[in-house]
Every structure is written in structure tokens, then in C-alpha cells.
Structure 1
């Protein structure tokens, strides 16, 4: 099995399109599937970068799925928080027979699909990103999807209501007025989706979530505002392997190599200086796993360079960054004119400029809070602005020049 996630097809880095790098990754991935004799590829969410992806991104996903199946593997892919669950799941059920199982939204989240391979069956439980706000308000009863065998679970309730707002008694069609509704959370909806038991000796959970203890990057969109987006690691107990998506930094959960984020295949922020890879997982017939990380050889690295404009333009120390995405932190003591245009002569992919003059005895503190600046005289306001931009107060001659210019401007504005 090959674990990948967070493709974000259609994304740009600053103003630079990543379409060519993403297409190169897809072609490389298809080659790996064939060379490594992969049986199953799982894509753990964020197939696209936005809910309504551009046409070229839709075509690239189709190319990826076609290539993977053509190389001899099945696919399980889920929607992430960047995806539209309805659009991702539009072909839900139609492509299953072709070996492409795609899930989005609550409708079939957590269904156990048993895939047959030459060394035995594998139970796959796919849980796309589930927004608690969109959780259904009533139990979603277990049903058998066409051509998708579900394991018998006769002694369990139909299914725990996703929002947990329906009591356990209600799932048995028994009124219970003492059970108060509870507000759904990321934890409760994910736990409810994973409520079904698996029966094969080996099983895989595919989920898009933020597991407690994991480390974020700067490029992930927050899963929640005002409530905790985290879910407990124990939520995934009982699975042979847990293929996670959402976080772009490759990492294990709880130091367990069978519960991991494989990370995004390309860097999407300057915090992602770590190596990118996909994970090959060998799950033997008893459920025991061994994992191998395969580095992704495509994509443009990111780097943050710090120094004066002259240092960044001239020093041979920075030659390695000439073809990277570059964030330039300029430490010149005064404002640098046309910094980006000048740096582009050496670094074709500089996308961010940060002015960070060194603090020192000549550093000028803000003379007044923003609310008080409106009460400054025109000359004091101009002097304050000059100090903010140049990181030093104006000289006597410069202050006189500002005074003359303001007098002339005020005289011209006076009727």
C-alpha cells in the first residue's frame, strides 16, 4: 500500500503556479506504483486546494487516478477540508467497481469496504473530513451499498448519530426525554464514523483530521474556529495502519510508525523545509506493518535568506538558493528601494520580502499609539513616518526639508 495526501491540486506558491510541479509529482507517483508493485494507493484528503477547482486540476486528478489503476493498483481517496465533499463524492459508488473508491461528506463516512488481494482481505475504513457543523441531526442507519460488502454487526446499534445529539435510546427507536442533545465536535463525529467494527485480520483507517500531539505547518487551514479541532489518538485504536491527512509535515503520531501523516508531496509554505516523501506500507496477512519512506524527487525547495540587500545579491553563500522559492529577510538599517525587483535578478522565485532592520541605539520607538497619532501636528506626523521607514530620526537638514514641503503643500491646499 502507498500512503499519500494533501495534493492541493491547483495551488500556487505566492504568485507562482505549481501546476507543472504537481503534474510531475503525479507522473512520478504512477511510476512508483508500477515499479513497487503497489496494490493500493490511499490519498488522505485535500485532493484539491479549493472547493471549486480549476478545470486543469480536475483533469490532473483524473490523469492520476487513471494512471494508478493502469499501473495495477486500487485507489481509496477521501475529501479534505479544502475539498467540496459533494463534488469529490459525485461519482461515489460509480467508480468502486473500477477499483477507485472516493468518499466525501457524512453519507458513507466510515463504511467498511473489504478489498481482496492475493495475500488475503483488507478492511478499509475511509473517513473524509467531517465538519461538525454539518453533522446530520438524526441517526444515519446502516445500509448495504451496492457491490460493497459490509461486515455483519448484528449486535451493534444501527449507527451512532454523528452529532451525538440523538441519544442511545433514540438509535433503538425508543424515546428518552432525559437525554439532552450535545453539540458535535471533531472528536465525536470522527469517533462515530469509526464506530463500525472490522472483521478481517488486517485493517486500514484513512482519515483527514488533526490528531492531538501533531505539529502544524504555516500552510494548513484551521479546521475549527472557537472549538478544538483535535481528536484523540485513541480514536484510531484497533487498526493495523492509520493513514492520516491534513498536516503537511511528515510525522508519526505518538511515535507509532503505524499511525502517521505522510505530509504534502510539495512544500506549500516557508516553514516546510523538511524532506517530502510518500510512505509504502506492507501489511502482512496478520495485520503486522512495515513501512518505507520514498523521497519525492520533484518540486522546488523553499529557503529563508537573512542579510543585507548587498549580501543577498553578492555573497556566494547563497548560490544554492538561486532556484528555490525564497523569502528574503533584509537587515539593512534603512529602507531598501525596489528590493524585490533587485533580488529577482539573482533569485527568480523570490516571493516574499521582510524588512527587519537591526535594533540598536538609533532605533526609534513609536512615539505614540495609533489612536494618538491623529492628534500629531503635520510635521510631527511626517517625522514619525520618516523614522518608521528609515529606522532613524531625520537629520536637521532633512527635518527642515520636511518643514518646507509641508508648508508648501498646506499653502497650496488653502483656498
Structure 2
């Protein structure tokens, strides 16, 4: 039996000012073609289906079309919520969808949802664990010690009474790490942390009773601890930190003897993401320009700030997302020790120095008044300052 593992679709996402819905439709169509070519039996979607809790109309239409394509092919689909999703919105119509082989578990109801997938002699138990917080789980298990996310997931799994003799698959959306190691992070995640997107880290050995664990939440495709515990990663690059990711989708082949084989199939985006660096004149020289429709992050090494750099860049690269600088001035700022910068300094002094450092001139009285007003509204200073 063949399972295709997806996660972190983030339908409706923008990259800077650029709507990615066409790029997302392109990659989902590519995945449908792969499902046809490889005769996939089921699709596992491990959360963060939408980018926002209130998705756009275009995002909901795209998901509708994708699920409809899967249903037409009689491909069973198992979908859970992630921390970006609205549980209630994603769960809407779930009972009706089951008649089309689409199984949605978006709201934790006190037990681990289980579905049985059969194909000839092969029978798989598919367990669906939507994104959960410790507080949610504590509500259903008031007598259990649940202090953190790991406790919460452990209690849920212990209560599920998993039959080790069966072939078991789990779909989950949590921050899972190996012993003494962190996953290679992407998107808005940052390394060396106990949590990602306010989701606390849990150990992968909680899932030892499962033959395959389809994870969502981390955007970089990778195994965690063992090959069978895996993040599919997002199907597209969604931030500069993912620029060097090779996006792929895993297809897992399983049989009744609990044999598991995993093959990664590369994905090719409609528009790639690139980070280019150098002097503007050189970067925009025709000899160095390529793939002009790609999403571009540009780091300029020119010593002087270039007026309307974005406008100039977008004449050649219309999908330029961001421009920053790496020169003597920015490196000098990076070396400034800010640990004591605010000691015995007034708000006015701090803002004046900052403004002069960045712009090379004094801040005007009108601009300072605006800064004071903003600081008061934010509670940084009081009305008398």
C-alpha cells in the first residue's frame, strides 16, 4: 500500500506582497500527477493546511479543488489541523466528507481518532492527532500529570491502547526532535529553541509504537531520530531560511508484514526562490541575470544606499521580495554592544542616536513627536516623558 505524506501547505500565504495561490495550485497539480503516476492509495496531510485561521476565499477554493481531485480518484485522504488552522473551520463538513473517503480530524475530542485502511491483505491503522496544547488535553484527563506538550501527547497515546501487532501510522502536527538534537528548521522557525511557533518540543521516542509517523510543523523535509518518523516539509519555499531547501514529497510503501520503504520525489515550483548578493550594477548586468520570474531576496554590498533600489530591481526581477545591505556601515552596526545602550539614557537620546546612526542626520522635532506618541501608545514611556 502506498501513502503520500504532505504537510504545511499554508494555502493562502503571501510572500511579502506576492500572492502565492497560483504557485500553490501549480504544486498541488504536480502532486496529483505524482499520485496518478505512482498509484498512491492514500494521502496524509499533517496540518497547517491554511496559512491563517480565517483563510481567504481563494485558499478554500484551492483546497476544495484538491480534495475533489483526490475523491474522484478514490484516494483516501487523512487530514489534521495544525497550529495555523482554525479547528472549527477546518472541521466543517467532515462528517459529510467521509462518504468520499476524506477523513478530517481537526478538533481533539478526548481520544485519538483511528481509521482502518484496507487493500487486499494489507490493513493499516491510521491514527489522527490534530495539533493539541497541554491545556486542551488536561481538560479530558484531569487526574493525569500534564505540565507540558510532551506530557499531553504521551497521555493521549497511552490512552489510545495501540496494538503493536498491527501496522500503525500516526499523523501529527507537533515540534518533534531527536535525543540531543533539533530538527533543521525553516519558515518562521529558529534553531536552538525549546519551542517553534509557540509549540514546545517533544521527543520522537514517544512514537515508538508506530511504524510510520507523518509529521507537520517544520518546513524543512527530514527524518527525526529514525527514518520512519519524518517531516514532509512544506511543498514550497515560504521564507529566506528555506532558500536552500530541496523540496520533495515522501511516498511510503507498507505491507502487512510491517515492511516500510520511503522514497522522496522532488517537487519543482512554478517560481523558485533565490538569494543573490553583490553590488547592484553587477547583479543587474545582463550577463548575470537569469530566471527573472523567481522570487528574489537581494543583499546589496554597495557602500551607499541606493535610492529606490526596489523599484530598480523589480524592473529586472519583478518578484523581488526584499532588499537589504551588507556593507561597512551595516557591519559596524552589528558590532555595537547594545547590552548597556539604554543605561541612564532618556528616550529622546536613544531615538536621536538611533536615527543618526541609521540615516546619518539629526531627527526633526516633528519626527521626534511622532516617535513619542507611538511610544506612549505602546506603553514604552508615560504621558510625562
TM-score by length of 1: 0.76
Contact 1:281–1:291 under 8 Å retained in 2: yes
| Alpha-carbon distance between aligned partners in 1 of 2:315 and 2:127, rounded to the nearest angstrom | 51
| Alpha-carbon distance between aligned partners in 1 of 2:120 and 2:259, rounded to the nearest angstrom | 16
| Alpha-carbon distance between aligned partners in 1 of 2:299 and 2:30, rounded to the nearest angstrom | 34
The alpha-carbon deviation at position 230 of structure 1 amounts to: 0.4
| Alpha-carbon distance between aligned partners in 2 of 1:350 and 1:342, rounded to the nearest angstrom | 10
State the match for 2:176 in structure 1: 211
Q: 1:55 aligns with which of 54, 57, 73?
A: 57
User: How is 1:1-400 mapped onto 2 (pairs within 5 angstroms)?
Assistant: 1-107=3-109, 109-138=111-140, 161=141, 165-167=142-144, 182-195=145-158, 196-199=160-163, 201-212=166-177, 213-220=182-189, 229-254=200-225, 256-272=226-242, 273-314=244-285, 316-317=287-288, 319-320=289-290, 322-358=292-328, 369=341, 371=345, 374=348, 388-389=358-359
The alpha-carbon deviation at position 259 of structure 1 amounts to: 1.0
1:99 to 1:228, Cα distance in 2 relative to 1, 3 A: closer
| Secondary structure class of the residue paired with 1:274 | coil
Which structure is larger by alpha-carbon Rg, 1 or 2? 1
| Secondary structure class of the residue paired with 2:328 | coil
The alpha-carbon deviation at position 362 of structure 1 amounts to: 9.8
1:304 to 1:7, Cα distance in 2 relative to 1, 3 A: same
Kindly indicate which of the two structures has a greater share of residues assigned to strand: 2
The alpha-carbon deviation at position 92 of structure 1 amounts to: 3.3
| Alpha-carbon distance between aligned partners in 1 of 2:302 and 2:27, rounded to the nearest angstrom | 39
> Any idea what the Cα deviations from partners look like across 1:143-178, whole Å, max 9, x if unmatched?
xxxxxxxxxxxxxxxxxx2xxx414xxxxxxxxxxx
Report the RMSD for the aligned CA atoms in angstroms: 3.1
Contact 1:112–1:198 under 8 Å retained in 2: no
| Alpha-carbon distance between aligned partners in 2 of 1:223 and 1:245, rounded to the nearest angstrom | 17
- When structure 1 is superposed on structure 2, of 97-106 and 356-365 the one drifting more is 356-365
| Alpha-carbon distance between aligned partners in 1 of 2:281 and 2:121, rounded to the nearest angstrom | 62
Q: Show structure 1 runs of 5+ residues with no match.
A: 139-160, 168-181, 395-401, 407-415
The alpha-carbon deviation at position 257 of structure 1 amounts to: 1.7
| Alpha-carbon distance between aligned partners in 1 of 2:278 and 2:328, rounded to the nearest angstrom | 10
1:197 to 1:356, Cα distance in 2 relative to 1, 3 A: same
Contact 1:241–1:259 under 8 Å retained in 2: yes
